[in-house]
């Protein structure tokens, strides 16, 4: 594992001790008022000692009026600053960088738990039986767009002050930034829609605002979709263009993923050629490499040490992102580096009821329940019932619906 264990220096001088990164994992361990809890902090105490070079937190919301899931942490002011400082301090004394991912869900927000569901355009999600859970969003007014851009900057500045060592813009998976980028969800006719240049304005302005607030040396990264995998959506060619634009602006690292709630390519992979190489979006990195010399992180599907090492050796990507493996094997980098573990075997929890399993919520909920166990000092439970995960998700939505703040 010569390559996997080698350090890497980002353009701004930050050094990652090795090439293994935990990609963002929405922990939903916040309180009903969306504050960090001791369980969340304990989870990171364990993870930051796993030997990974980089930990990226689950998405932290920039606006309490619009959250992705009950239990998300919201940072829009300094009311929870002490808890944030304790969370950031979990990386102290380790070799791990701890970055936060910041996000706004846009239209991918349950109607019952949110006070304000907004998006670039008033286009509702199409998710079969699930569609009714998502309200039709209100198209953002220009002043609301400008307010949201400021919020990303404000959230990043607070998190930096709390002690987190970098920040990531969530630009993937069909959330607000990704909605602006996609011509399927952004049909605006003003300067925020239409041409790719206009659709990319939102993310570029967010990047510039964060940079202004955190300074030149602070690492800023983005997680971006290689494509939306939807007809009429954000294409691979457009994604490569956005990578080029962000590189020219001075972003420090680009993480590659793909898909949306409607087409969840980030979590599954069906192509035989990809199965052998494990990583879902490997071919894309080769194209991105042509337009940027920035460190590229690839997330989705990696499970085997030798395959990860080989991927780095080939030079199309620099950092291996993993999410579900960190949940079932919370200490795996240490175990991999010492030769005790070569392959991460994962469970795909299923209820057996196709319409429910296809929603993806069962898998997410199942993994989120495992996160709670780790935060409580327990081990993951491979035999955890998918039905109990589903009922926990439902319960938390109902609780939040009654206590919207």
Query: For residue 220, what are the β-bridge partners?
Result: 167
β-pair partners for 254: 222, 296
Selected from 266, 298, 361, 389, the binder of ligand FMN by CB under 6 A is 266
Other CB atoms within 10 A of residue 382 CB = 11
Residue with tokens 């813009």: 169
Applying CB under 6 A, which part among 20-28, 134-142, 152-160, 311-319 lies near ligand FMN? 20-28
Judge contact between 75 and 65, C-beta under 8 A: no
Q: Using CA atoms, how far apart are residues 400 and 403, in angstroms rounded to an integer?
A: 5
Residue 201 lies near ligand FMN (rule: CB under 6 A) = no
CA-based nearest residue to 58, from 45, 49, 71: 71
Interface with ligand FMN, residue 368, by CB under 6 A: yes
Contact characters 273-302, ligand FMN, x per CB under 6 A: --------------------------xxx-
Q: From the list 17, 177, 203, 322, which residue makes contact with ligand FMN (rule: CB under 6 A)? A: 322
The residue range among 138-146, 287-295, 321-329, 386-394 that interacts with ligand FMN, by the rule CB under 6 A, is 321-329
Q: Which stretch binds ligand FMN (CB under 6 A): 46-54, 80-88, 138-146, 169-177?
A: 169-177
Interaction between residue 100 and ligand FMN (CB under 6 A): no
Closest contact distance (angstroms) between CB of 111 and ligand FMN is: 20
129-149 per-residue burial string, b: 16 or more CB within 10 A, e: under 16: ebeebbbebebbeeeebeebb
Answer for which of 18, 34, 37, 59 binds ligand FMN (CB under 6 A) is 59
Question: What residues does 97 pair with on adjacent strands?
Answer: 54
- Taking CB under 6 A as the criterion, the residue among 14, 16, 20, 23 binding ligand FMN is 23
Based on CB atoms, which residue is closest to ligand FMN, 53 or 300?
300
x/- site string to ligand FMN, residues 24 to 43, per CB under 6 A? xxx-----------------
Measured from the CB of residue 24, what is the shortest distance to ligand FMN in angstroms?
Answer: 3
Q: What are 56's strand-pairing partners?
A: 99
Helices then strands, counting H and E runs in the chain, come out as 15, 12
What contacts 24+ positions apart, CB below 8 Å, involve 304-307?
Answer: 304/278, 304/342, 304/343, 304/344, 305/1, 305/4, 305/336, 305/341, 305/342, 305/343, 306/1, 306/342, 307/277, 307/278
**Alpha-carbon Rg for the chain in angstroms:** 19
59 or 193, CB closer to ligand FMN? 59
Closer to ligand FMN by Cβ: residue 193 or 262: 262
Please select the residue that binds ligand FMN; options are 75, 267, 298, 390, rule is CB under 6 A. Answer: 267
Q: Which of residues 91 and 361 has its CB atom nearest to ligand FMN in the complex?
A: 361
The three-state secondary structure class of 166 is strand
The pair of three-digit structure tokens given for residue 139, joined into one six-digit string: 């198209």
Among 19, 151, 160, 170, which residue interacts with ligand FMN (rule: CB under 6 A)?
Answer: 170
Site of interaction with ligand FMN (CB under 6 A): 23-26, 58-59, 101, 170, 172-173, 223, 257, 266-267, 299-301, 322-325, 364, 367-368
């Amino acid at each position: 594992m010569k390559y996997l264990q080698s350090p890497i220096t980002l353009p701004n001088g930050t050094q990652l001790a090795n090439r293994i990164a935990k990609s963002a994992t929405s922990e939903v361990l916040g309180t009903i008022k969306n504050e960090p809890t001791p369980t969340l902090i304990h989870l990171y105490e364990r993870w930051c000692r796993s030997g990974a070079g980089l930990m990226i937190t689950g998405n932290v919301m920039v606006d309490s009026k619009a959250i992705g899931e009950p239990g998300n942490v919201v940072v829009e002011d300094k009311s929870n600053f002490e808890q944030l400082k304790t969370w950031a301090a979990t990386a102290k004394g380790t070799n791990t960088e701890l970055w936060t991912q910041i996000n706004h869900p846009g239209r991918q927000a349950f109607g019952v738990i949110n006070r304000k569901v907004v998006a670039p355009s008033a286009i509702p999600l199409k998710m079969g039986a699930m569609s009714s859970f998502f309200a039709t969003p209100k198209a953002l007014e220009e002043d609301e767009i400008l307010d949201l851009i400021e919020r990303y900057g404000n959230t990043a500045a607070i998190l930096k002050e709390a002690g987190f060592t970098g920040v990531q813009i969530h630009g993937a998976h069909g959330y607000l930034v990704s909605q602006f980028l996609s011509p399927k969800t952004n049909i605006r006719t003003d300067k925020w829609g239409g041409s790719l240049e206009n659709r990319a304005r939102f993310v570029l302005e967010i990047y510039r605002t964060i940079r202004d607030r955190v300074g030149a040396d602070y690492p800023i990264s983005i997680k971006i979709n290689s494509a939306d995998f939807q007809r009429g959506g954000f294409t691979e060619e457009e994604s490569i263009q956005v990578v080029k634009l962000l590189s020219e602006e001075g972003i420090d690292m680009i993480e590659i993923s793909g898909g949306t709630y409607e087409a969840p390519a980030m979590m599954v992979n069906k192509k035989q050629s990809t199965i052998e190489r494990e990583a879902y979006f490997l071919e894309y990195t080769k194209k991105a490499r042509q337009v940027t010399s920035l460190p590229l992180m690839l997330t989705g599907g990696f499970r085997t040490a030798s395959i990860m090492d080989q991927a780095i050796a080939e030079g199309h990507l620099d950092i291996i992102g993993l999410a579900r493996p960190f949940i079932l094997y919370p200490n795996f980098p240490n175990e991999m580096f010492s030769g005790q573990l070569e392959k991460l075997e994962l469970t795909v929890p299923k209820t057996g009821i196709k319409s429910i399993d296809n929603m993806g919520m069962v898998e997410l909920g199942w993994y989120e329940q495992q996160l709670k166990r780790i935060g409580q000092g327990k081990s993951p439970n491979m035999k955890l019932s998918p039905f109990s995960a589903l009922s926990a998700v439902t319960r938390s939505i109902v609780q939040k619906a009654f206590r919207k703040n």
